[in-house]
Amino acid sequence: MSLTVEDLTGGVMTEFQEKLRAQHEDSMHRELEALLGTASKAEAEISRKDFEGFKNLFHRFLQVKGPAVDWAKINRPPEESILPYEQIKMKGLPDDISASLNKLAVVKLNGGLGTSMGCTGPKSLISVRNENTFLDLTVQQIEHLNKTFNADVPLVLMNSFNTDEDTKKILQKYKHHRVNIHTFNQSRYPRINKESLLPIAKNMSTGGAERGGVGKEYIFVSNIDNLGATVDLFILQHLMSQPADRRCEFIMEVTDKTRADVKGGTLIQYEDHLRLLEIAQVPKNHVDEFKSVTKFKIFNTNNLWISLPAIKRLQDTNKLDLEIIVNPKTLDGGLNVIQLETAVGAAIKSFNNALGVNVPRSRFLPVKTSSDLLLVMSNLYSLDAGSLTMSRKREFPSTPHVKLGSSFTKVQQFLCRFESIPDMLELDHLTVSGDVTFGKNVSLKGTVIIIANHGDRIDIPAGAMLENKIVSGNLRILDH
* 168 flagged as catalytic: no
Among 89, 103, 168, 368, the active-site one is 368
How many other C-beta atoms lie within 10 A of the C-beta of residue 37? 10
The angle subtended at Cα 182 by Cα 179 and Cα 184, nearest 5°, is 160
Query: Can you point out the beta strands (E) in 166-272?
Result: 181-185, 192-193, 218-223, 250-256, 266-270
Alpha-carbon Rg for the chain in angstroms: 24
- DSSP per-residue codes, 9-72: GSSSPPHHHHHHHHHHHHHHHHHHHHHHTTS-HHHHHHHHHHHHHHHHHHHHHHH--S-SS-GG
- DSSP per-residue codes, 286-324: GHHHHT-TTTS-EEEEEEEEEEHHHHHHHHHTT------
Alpha helices in 107-179 (DSSP H): 134-149, 164-170
- DSSP per-residue codes, 184-209: EEPP----EETTT-SBS--SPPP---
Contacts of 96 (CB under 8 A, 6+ apart): none
Cβ pair 27, 198 in contact under 8 A: yes
Contacts of 181 (CB under 8 A, 6+ apart): 139, 154, 155, 156, 157, 171, 174
Long-range contacts at 117-122 (CB < 8 A, ≥ 24 apart): 117/369, 117/370, 117/373, 117/409, 117/410, 117/411, 118/409, 118/410, 118/411, 118/412, 118/413, 119/410, 119/411, 121/163, 121/166, 122/159, 122/162, 122/163, 122/166, 122/167
Exposed / middle / buried, residue 289 (Cβ in 10 Å: 0-12, 13-18, 19+)? middle
In a 3-state reduction of DSSP, which class is residue 75?
strand
Exposed / middle / buried, residue 172 (Cβ in 10 Å: 0-12, 13-18, 19+)? exposed
Cβ pair 198, 29 in contact under 8 A: no
Exposed / middle / buried, residue 156 (Cβ in 10 Å: 0-12, 13-18, 19+)? buried
- DSSP per-residue codes, 463-480: T-EEEEEEEES--S----
In a 3-state reduction of DSSP, which class is residue 264?
coil
The catalytic residues are: 368
